Chains A and B, each alone.
Chain A
């Protein structure tokens, strides 16, 4: 009894330590974003770095004054939101076709899609860049959205969830008079919320932080997303660490919001093997 209580105490301590380790940079960012610029670097590396003594929103005001933050925020939301929304439909439909429909070449194509998962984006960035240039798509939203809607990993996540759904549900629906598309939207989608939540969160995180591709294909700030904008902000004199941390905090907020929104289904999705294996 005593040993088990000690064991539990030990594991709680270890978990708390781990949680602090992961939360520390975030807490430091938040505290720093509220402090006067001159104190940020002075207090870095000390416990005071986590304490927002003399807190004010001046740094946040400076971000809005010195940059077109709302424009960058809109760009990021629009680009990421479109990729996620369109990706949910396209990848789920593709996964359903791989998991349930019978057609010639299905297995071969599915294996090819799986093989794409191991291909790093950097390997195809240059040819993709040439393609975008030839098509005259640089400095547009479309070039930042279109190449990323279809995604091998998302297809795989949906596939592994769909394959576990009882086939009788679809058979019952087809006998009830539903077409294949109707079965997908009326039966499969409502019963796959965990898979949709997992894919939505994972792809949102991926594309919200996307940096290399937007940097390659955009020059004008009007279409640039937040990660490229914050990188430019570093080089904008005078260097103000408080402002940069405020920019970072503002950038993290939407990610937290999305995660909290889908967290319940996301956890269930992970538990029900949507992203297992």
Chain B
């Protein structure tokens, strides 16, 4: 097992495109860190640089304290599971598992022992003599995992390994990967664009955007204390609503005006985010998680009225896309005035809600559930 660190790592392509910009990241021995971000954010490039498949333009990568910038991939003792699995098509499952062991020059007895153990661990015994083309997607994924495990490498690198599987299998294999990693205790860096995978798998989650690290924290902290509006919008399904609104003083405290509704901030919110007091009288971005919005009870005096744009019933919840008097902005570009229709305010209501486009709904918000960001998107602390 090994610890991994990235120090001021950058990557610029010959045409001048900078894909990684000053990355600083530590991955602890035995930790499972998930790198997550939208397509093109540079997360796979980070993994490939660590594997030695891409050169660095600047900075240093260390494995167990040793700089590996100029080390060939063969000499890094890392295992990688690729998005398309990269199984050798001309070899059987056994041949695929044996390949890295033969490259290591292990004895026949040792190779047989490791193949046997890995096959038993991943339930591959019955498939050992099959070629990859005779396997299902899930089986191929397990063989790819097996090839990584059999090597007993210092760390596992996984590049979107579940993205080719159907939704049901993805959930199953995700759980298997988490259990395996916990059992083997191998340092693992897992790259995905799926924030559900990130939240469920990662001991820590690193969110990337445009080649820059946005936040590194345990999943719950990422969800509860996003460092900026991008992270807030990216983590969570559906993403957080962002609304531009003024912060006013109110009876010695602070309140926000959301349309006709005035919400007075709790003492706890003010204590947790002392920076709010400095922004009295200014516009800020208010973050509202869709799941924190609920329908106002009949007779409630302070409720936000909105009109249903579309309604999506998912069975266990109903997503209402709403037109409201609030100034909604996009999470990835909070300063930009949206062209045409502003982003809808999204409410995730538990259970089935028989709303139809054009229906008016009255919504209730709890001030304790609000998130606050400056207009540049940085969280107000």
A in complex with B: yes
B177 interfacial by beta-carbon distance below 8 Å = no
Q: Note all chain B residues with C-beta closer than 8 A to A258.
A: none
Closest to B72 in A: A174
The interface on chain B, measured as residues whose beta carbon lies within 8 A of the other chain's beta carbons, has a size of 23
Q: How large is the interface on A (under 10, 10 to 19, 20 to 34, 35 or more residues)?
A: 10 to 19
Contact A168 B74 (CB under 8 A): no
Contact A175 B78 (CB under 8 A): yes
Contact B90 A168 (CB under 8 A): no
A277 interfacial by beta-carbon distance below 8 Å = no
B43 interfacial by beta-carbon distance below 8 Å = no
Contact A171 B80 (CB under 8 A): yes
Chain A contact residues: helix, strand, loop or mixed: helix
A65 interfacial by beta-carbon distance below 8 Å = no
Contact B73 A174 (CB under 8 A): yes
Contact B100 A176 (CB under 8 A): yes
Complex alpha-carbon distance, A11 and B52, angstroms: 56
Stretch at the interface among B25-33, B81-89, B190-198: B81-89
B244 interfacial by beta-carbon distance below 8 Å = no
B147 interfacial by beta-carbon distance below 8 Å = yes
Q: Note all chain A residues with C-beta closer than 8 A to B72.
A: 174
A18 interfacial by beta-carbon distance below 8 Å = no
Complex alpha-carbon distance, A270 and B237, angstroms: 48
A169, A176, A179, A187: residue with the most chain B Cβ atoms closer than 10 Å: A176
Complex alpha-carbon distance, A173 and B86, angstroms: 9
B134 interfacial by beta-carbon distance below 8 Å = no
Contact A191 B89 (CB under 8 A): yes
Contact B151 A176 (CB under 8 A): yes
CB within 8 Å of A: which B43-90 residues: 51-53, 72-74, 76, 78-80, 82-84, 86, 88-90
Contact residues of B with A, CB < 8 Å?
Answer: 51-53, 72-74, 76, 78-80, 82-84, 86, 88-90, 99-100, 103-104, 147, 151
6 A-B pairs with least C-beta separation: A177-B103, A176-B100, A168-B86, A172-B86, A190-B90, A174-B73
Contact residues of A with B, CB < 8 Å?
Answer: 166, 168-169, 171-179, 182, 186-187, 190-191
**Could you jot down 11 A-B contacts, CB within 8 Å?**
A169-B86, A171-B51, A171-B80, A172-B80, A175-B76, A175-B78, A175-B80, A176-B147, A177-B104, A179-B74, A187-B88
